[in-house]
Amino acid sequence: MDNNSEVSEDLEEDYKLFKIADIYNFAKEADFDDIKFILESAKMNEKVSEEGLKGDYGLQVGSKIIQKGNFNLFSNDASNKIIAASAAASDARMDGCAMPIMTTAGSGNQGIACSIPVAQTARLLDKSEEELARALVLSNLVTIRIKNTWEDFLLYAVQE
């Protein structure tokens, strides 16, 4: 086993020790200067979402939700707009859009799912950049925590 694999496995095992309360407290108390870089992840992923809504990518789920909302087939509310934005980014990503995506836990779609809804909701609620950064940290770290324990949960569930 090489050193990178050992470090990676050690980090995964260490991460499993964190409780959601630990993650929440970190997101709440971390120095803003140490976490503000995460704002770029939302900006990056939202650019792909915008491209996905304009372009002809994949199944065009995002643009169809918006279009159907205009015809009252879906409500044209905030939640459907957030769903449409997230779906558009995933459609663009999965259909080969050359724009960069910020991943989470090694997955572009997880990166989209834990950044776009958070960023759009923060904007709707008129939250500050610091509040958005803290929410993004919480969303990303909880996603990573779930991913790192999901496999153990599945193994446990199969054995029961």
Residue 63: CB atoms within 10 Å: 19
Domain ranges of the chain: 17-159
The pLDDT value recorded for residue 1 is 42
The pLDDT value recorded for residue 154 is 67
User: What would the pLDDT profile of 125-157 be if each residue is shown by its tens digit?
Assistant: 999 999 999 999 999 999 998 888 877 666 666
The pLDDT value recorded for residue 42 is 97
The pLDDT value recorded for residue 7 is 47
N- to C-terminal Cα separation, the chain? 32
Q: Which of 96, 83, 82, 110 is nearest to 51 (CA)?
A: 96
The pLDDT value recorded for residue 19 is 87
Q: Do 80 and 10 form a contact (C-beta atoms < 8 A)?
A: no
The pLDDT value recorded for residue 132 is 99
Tokens 């915008």 correspond to: 50
36 burial class (0-12, 13-18, 19+ CB within 10 angstroms)? middle
Instruction: Say how far apart CA 113 and CA 42 lie, in whole Å.
Output: 10
Query: What are the angstrom distances between the C-alpha of 59 and each of 62, 64, 93?
Result: 9, 9, 12
- E-strand ranges in the chain read none
Q: Do 67 and 86 form a contact (C-beta atoms < 8 A)?
A: no
Q: Among residues of the chain, what percentage have pLDDT more than 90?
A: 66
Instruction: Say how far apart CA 59 and CA 88 lie, in whole Å.
Output: 9
**pLDDT one digit per residue (tens) for the chain, 160 residues:** 445 455 456 655 665 667 899 999 999 999 999 999 999 999 999 999 999 999 999 999 999 998 876 666 667 688 889 999 999 999 999 999 999 999 998 999 999 999 999 999 999 999 999 999 999 999 999 999 888 887 766 666 666 5
